[in-house]
Amino acid sequence: MSESQYLPARERMLKRIAETRDTARSGLPHWASAADGKWTFTPDGDWTGGAFVGELWLAHLADRSQFPIEDARAALSRMLPRAERLTAFKGFGFYHAGALGSILFKEENARAVALTAARSLRDMFDPHLGLIPLGRDAEEASAVGASESSIDSLQATGLLYWAADELSDARMEEVANAHMRRVLEIHVRQDNSVIQSSTLDHTGKVLRTHTHKGYSDISTWGRAQGWAMLYTAHAAMVRPDEPLWRDYAVRLLDWWIDHVPADLIAFWDFDDPAIPNTGRDTAATAIAAAAALRLASAPGPEGGAKYRLFAERTVTQLSSKYLTPTAPDDPRPPGMLTGGCFTRKAIVRDIDAAQNVELIFGSYFLFECLAILTDLVPPGWI
């Protein structure tokens, strides 16, 4: 598709970002009702708030008069208490809220906050485990031990690689590589599907693996596959001299392409026996598209055309089927990415008990894809 074919979807999403900004005066959006678009907010962003700050950076790039840079700065300030909390998941938030502001606009405060979070992640590395554990402040801290890991913890690596370059920090690089390698060894199965979580003992021995947010312990939860694809593709893009990252990204994305439904919108779990009569997850699907665009721009022996085309097709499906329209007879705000699923499991934090909703990180990744496909951001920058 041409750039112009994605512009209407980008404009709808900008309307939603503006509406969200105008209602998020003291917190950050987490998820929104698909019926009316009303957000559930968290005061400091939880693990998801950096996605909205990332939207505001990209929105400023698209329309500087409607989205002054102070919008992103103010939203980032709400996240500051999380910068040194012991959670591997903060890599996601502070990459998009902090590093992205530095990458796009040379924002010094955003850079400083992101580096603080990266140093904290570096110092969380446990040499006995060979990885960064989830940490006592992680969202699942009340249910896991000190030696728990998950594929989600790859969220640390994008921030670590960026910080290693910013600081010429060899230790940061070493931690990012070791963490990436160990987490992938534990959680990527022989068939290239992903299991979400693992429990280790203090020596690093894996005691068990399980998928606590998916259908069963042995199922493939859509977002677990998504995170694995995203961060291996990101590593392939920013560390092209390490062929292992590209190898993993190709295998993981090819598994997704081979198993996703014909309409390209993933079910919440690939192994739910109720398929096709079960929920979808547009957030995992948007993550898959963002991963494919990263891999398409990464140097490698194969061309990236296959992954670029897959991303384009996926974004088209999301935009045409799940992005709310601008219509006078539709009570919902335009530009909402509906169909997101935190999880269908009953054991979940109350704040995450949401299905068929707008998830702020799903919306971020769709908007990021649209920014790339409309040439707002050059491929390989994010």
CB atoms inside a 10 Å sphere around CB 136: 13
Tokens encoding 354: 């949401």
Contact, 188 vs 231, CB < 8 A? no
Contact, 73 vs 21, CB < 8 A? no
Q: What is the DSSP letter of 350?
A: G
Phi/psi at 273 (5° precision): -65, -15
The string of DSSP codes covering 14-27 is HHHHHHHHHH-SSS
Tokens encoding 150: 């998950």
How far is residue 316's CA from residue 124's CA, in Å, rounded to a whole number? 40
What's the 3-state SS for 67-92?
A: CCHHHHHHHHHCCHHHCCCCCCCHHH
Q: What is the pLDDT, as a whole number, of residue 127?
A: 96
For residue range 124-152, list pLDDT tens digits in order. 999 999 999 999 988 764 455 568 999 99
For residue range 322-377, list pLDDT tens digits in order. 999 988 888 899 999 999 998 776 566 766 767 889 999 999 999 999 999 999 99
Q: Quote the pTM value.
A: 0.96
> Mean pLDDT score of the chain, rounded to an integer?
94
